[in-house]
Amino acid sequence: MVHAQNVRVRTTELVAIDERRLLRRLNELSQRGAAPEGGITRLLYTPAWVSAMELASGWMKDAGLLVRRDAVGNVWGRVEGSRGGRAIVSGSHVDTVRCGGALDGALGVVAAVEAVTSLVAAFGRPTRILECVAICEEEGSRFATNLWGARAIADRLEPDEAARVRDGDGVTLAEAMRGVGLDPARAAQAVRRDIDAFVELHVEQGPVLDERGERLGVVRVVAGTAHLEVTVRGEPDHAGAAAMERRHDALLGASAMVLAVAEAAREAGPPAVATVGTISVEPSQVNVVPGLARFTVDARHSEERARAELVAEITRRCKVVARERDLAVEVRALRDRPAVTLSERVGDVLRRACLAAGVTPRDMTSGAGHDAQILSVAASAAMLFVPSIGGRSHRGDEATAAEDVVLGTRVLATALRELAYEAPR
Which chain residues interact with ligand GLV by CB under 6 A? Answer: 139, 368-369
Report the relative pairing of strands 292-301 and 273-275 from DSSP bridges.
antiparallel
Of 32 and 202, the one with the shorter C-beta distance to ligand GLV is 202
Taking the complex as a whole, the smallest distance from the CB of residue 276 to Mn ion amounts, in Å, to 18
Specify whether the CB–CB gap between 318 and 264 falls below 8 A.
no
Contacts of Mn ion in 58-117 (CB under 5 A): 104-105
Taking the complex as a whole, the smallest distance from the CB of residue 195 to ligand GLV amounts, in Å, to 22
Dump the DSSP string for 41-83: ---TTSHHHHHHHHHHHHHHHHTT-EEEE-TTS-EEEEE--TT
Of 77 and 369, the one with the shorter C-beta distance to ligand GLV is 369
d(CA 390, CA 323): 41
Q: Tell me which of ligand GLV, Mn ion, none is bound by residue 88, counting a contact when its beta carbon lies within the kind-specific cut-off of 5 to 8 angstroms.
A: none
Contacts of Mn ion in 321-360 (CB under 5 A): none
- For the chain, the distance separating the N- and C-terminal CA atoms, rounded to the nearest angstrom, is 40
Q: Tell me which of ligand GLV, Mn ion, none is bound by residue 39, counting a contact when its beta carbon lies within the kind-specific cut-off of 5 to 8 angstroms.
A: none
Taking the complex as a whole, the smallest distance from the CB of residue 268 to ligand GLV amounts, in Å, to 18
Taking the complex as a whole, the smallest distance from the CB of residue 368 to ligand GLV amounts, in Å, to 4
Q: Tell me which of Mn ion, ligand GLV, none is bound by residue 418, counting a contact when its beta carbon lies within the kind-specific cut-off of 5 to 8 angstroms.
A: none
Taking the complex as a whole, the smallest distance from the CB of residue 31 to ligand GLV amounts, in Å, to 21
Of 131 and 139, the one with the shorter C-beta distance to ligand GLV is 139
d(CA 80, CA 68): 14
Taking the complex as a whole, the smallest distance from the CB of residue 222 to ligand GLV amounts, in Å, to 9
d(CA 70, CA 77): 11
Specify whether the CB–CB gap between 214 and 268 falls below 8 A.
no
Q: Tell me which of ligand GLV, Mn ion, none is bound by residue 48, counting a contact when its beta carbon lies within the kind-specific cut-off of 5 to 8 angstroms.
A: none
Taking the complex as a whole, the smallest distance from the CB of residue 95 to Mn ion amounts, in Å, to 9
Taking the complex as a whole, the smallest distance from the CB of residue 287 to ligand GLV amounts, in Å, to 37
- φ, ψ of residue 2 to 5 degrees: the values are -110, 125
Of 80 and 229, the one with the shorter C-beta distance to ligand GLV is 229
Of 369 and 396, the one with the shorter C-beta distance to ligand GLV is 369
Of 104 and 249, the one with the shorter C-beta distance to Mn ion is 104
d(CA 116, CA 215): 22
Report the relative pairing of strands 130-135 and 292-301 from DSSP bridges.
unpaired
Of 99 and 120, the one with the shorter C-beta distance to ligand GLV is 99
Q: Tell me which of Mn ion, ligand GLV, none is bound by residue 105, counting a contact when its beta carbon lies within the kind-specific cut-off of 5 to 8 angstroms.
A: Mn ion
Peptide bond connecting 283 to the previous residue in cis, omega within 30 degrees of 0: yes
Contacts of Mn ion in 206-245 (CB under 5 A): none
Specify whether the CB–CB gap between 346 and 89 falls below 8 A.
no
**With CB under 5 A, what is the number of residues at the site for Mn ion?**
2
Of 96 and 315, the one with the shorter C-beta distance to ligand GLV is 96
**Which of 321, 337, 319, 251 has its CA nearest to residue 286?**
251
Helices (H), 269-392: 304-324, 344-356, 371-375
Specify whether the CB–CB gap between 414 and 356 falls below 8 A.
yes
Q: Tell me which of ligand GLV, Mn ion, none is bound by residue 369, counting a contact when its beta carbon lies within the kind-specific cut-off of 5 to 8 angstroms.
A: ligand GLV
Identify the DSSP state of 270: T
Taking the complex as a whole, the smallest distance from the CB of residue 336 to ligand GLV amounts, in Å, to 13
Of 30 and 57, the one with the shorter C-beta distance to ligand GLV is 30
Across 187-223, the runs of DSSP E, i.e. the strands, are: 195-203, 217-222
- Give the residue closest to ligand GLV by C-beta: 369
Positions that interact with Mn ion (CB under 5 A): 104-105
